[in-house]
Amino acid sequence: MTVDDTGSGTGAQHAPGGGPDRTAGSAGDASDARGGRAEGWARADAPGRSGAQNPDLAEDPLALRLEQLILGAERRYTPFQAARSAGVSMELASRFWRAMGFPDIGQAKALTEADVLALRRLAGLVEAGLLSEAMAVQVARSTGQTTARLAEWQIDSFLEGLTEPPEPGMTRTEVTYPLVELLLPELEEFLVFVWRRQLAAATSRVVQAADDEEMVDRRLAVGFADLVGFTRLTRRMEEEELGELVEAFETTAADLVAARGGRLIKTLGDEVLYAADDAGVAAEIALRLIETMANDETMPELRVGMAFGTVTTRMGDVFGTTVNLASRLTSIAPRDAVLVDTAFAEEIIRTGDAPVSEAEAAEAAAAAEKEGEEPPTYRFALQPMYQRPVRGLGVVEPWLLTRRAEGT
């Protein structure tokens, strides 16, 4: 797949190796196709750069060796030379570079053959009419944002732990190079495998949409789960303890969401956002999260808000009124409780996961018993709450979602 090649070749997935080589040849900045001055890129003294992005700080031999190992190529090009070699304008190269999340690098000779090749591929998709220029920039941005977080996590947590010197007298830097050399091909293979798996799953969901409109704007159940009193915790706990708590919460939430058939959209420290095609699945996830956290004495209480409706998906994220409503419901939910909107309540009633009312459930059970039949069973119960105004969304009627006892 050409897009796959672009993602791999750019170094968007090679984030640990020092930013500039991930430019995918995103050579210059705001210079135009006529080769004019590249404004941002020409500022070699721009703040906020380190390593290969700043020539004055790029003389560390180990850093350069690691960069070359990870990127598989030596520095050869300035941004202008890379853009010219790839056959694209400085303006377009700059847009790709910045979309991937990298700062201006002036006109330092910091780019590689891999950068040129990746830029050429991405620009080639535009020239062939397979992607619009705006869409190609989105590809660069989504890939850059996703892999940047992955790379930061691997360096901060995974790699840091593994590079603890095994013997007295050894330094961490002496361990890093051989370790990266061993891990790099395996991690790269695993990254591509997981990406293909996720792409296959996402494609299946899209092609099963009822119509073309639903392929972009779909009806989903969206849920926010929020740790209660997190701000107070930040004032009481040590940073390391706080980091461990957040990691435990995110890990637990991610595992529960995935295991039950939902999709984790993003984590925000003390809050996670997830979505599911089926409202019943989303409801089960919410209650499981509450129950799991309640059984862990180290965890704060949790509250969940959910809504069901049309959602716009972009770059792996979700947007729209449905998402905003779920967020607002979370902020007003009681501790260790789940609030849902009316559309969500109606959906799980429609699918038979909850009764219209407890009175109707009792009547149905009595009628079934009279006829000698099995009474209907429901997974969830709904209790209407007082209507209340919600900032930006007017008056809403929340419903309290709970789990029904077995056999009821």
Instruction: Pick the range with the lowest mean pLDDT from 10-19, 125-134, 391-400.
Output: 10-19
Percent of the chain with pLDDT over 90: 31
List, for residues 177-187, the tens digit of each pLDDT value. 888 888 889 98
* 233 & 128 share domain: no
Residues forming a β-bridge with 142: none
Residue 169's CB is within 10 A of a number of other CB atoms, namely 6
Percent of the chain with pLDDT over 70: 79
Q: Choose one of 185, 207, 229: the last residue of a domain.
A: 207
Q: Choose one of 181, 207, 233: the last residue of a domain.
A: 207
* 174 & 240 share domain: no
Query: Could you give the count of Cα atoms lying within 13 Å of 280 in the half-sphere of its Cβ?
Result: 11
In a domain, 60, yes or no: yes
**What 3-state class would DSSP assign to 327?**
helix
DSSP 111: B
List, for residues 74-129, the tens digit of each pLDDT value. 899 998 999 999 999 998 888 888 888 887 777 888 899 989 998 999 999 999 99
List, for residues 265-316, the tens digit of each pLDDT value. 998 888 999 999 999 999 999 999 999 999 888 888 999 999 999 998 877 7
Residue 178's CB is within 10 A of a number of other CB atoms, namely 10
User: Given a cut of 70, is residue 407 above it in pLDDT?
Assistant: no
* 322 & 183 share domain: no
* 69 & 202 share domain: yes
In a domain, 408, yes or no: no
pLDDT in the model for residue 402? 94
Average pLDDT estimate for 22-26: 36
| Residue 28 structure tokens | 């210059």
In a domain, 321, yes or no: yes
Boundaries of domain holding 240 = 213-403
Q: Residue 257 maps to which CATH number?
A: 3.30.70.1230
List, for residues 194-231, the tens digit of each pLDDT value. 989 988 887 887 776 555 555 556 789 999 999 998 87
Residues 6+ apart with CB under 8 A from 27: 38, 41, 77, 78, 79, 80, 81, 82, 83, 84, 86, 88, 90, 93, 94, 97, 111, 119
* 117 & 219 share domain: no
Q: Choose one of 164, 181, 207: the last residue of a domain.
A: 207
In a domain, 311, yes or no: yes
* 117 & 230 share domain: no
Overall domain count for the chain: 2
* Burial annotation 135-150 (CB, 10 A radius, 16+ → b, else e): ebbebbbbbbbbbbee
* 191 & 249 share domain: no
Instruction: Pick the range with the lowest mean pLDDT from 68-72, 243-247, 342-346, 365-369.
Output: 365-369
* 267 & 146 share domain: no
pLDDT in the model for residue 242? 83
Average pLDDT estimate for 356-361: 81
In a domain, 320, yes or no: yes
* 225 & 131 share domain: no
* 267 & 394 share domain: yes
Average pLDDT estimate for 29-40: 36
Distance (Å, whole) CA 2 – CA 8: 10
Distance (Å, whole) CA 243 – CA 103: 28
pTM of the model: 0.64
* 191 & 218 share domain: no
Mean pLDDT for all residues in the chain = 79
User: Given a cut of 60, is residue 21 above it in pLDDT?
Assistant: no
* 329 & 368 share domain: yes
**CA dihedral angle for residue 118, residue 119, residue 121, residue 127, rounded to 10 degrees:** 170
CA angle 129–112–26, rounded 5-degree value? 40
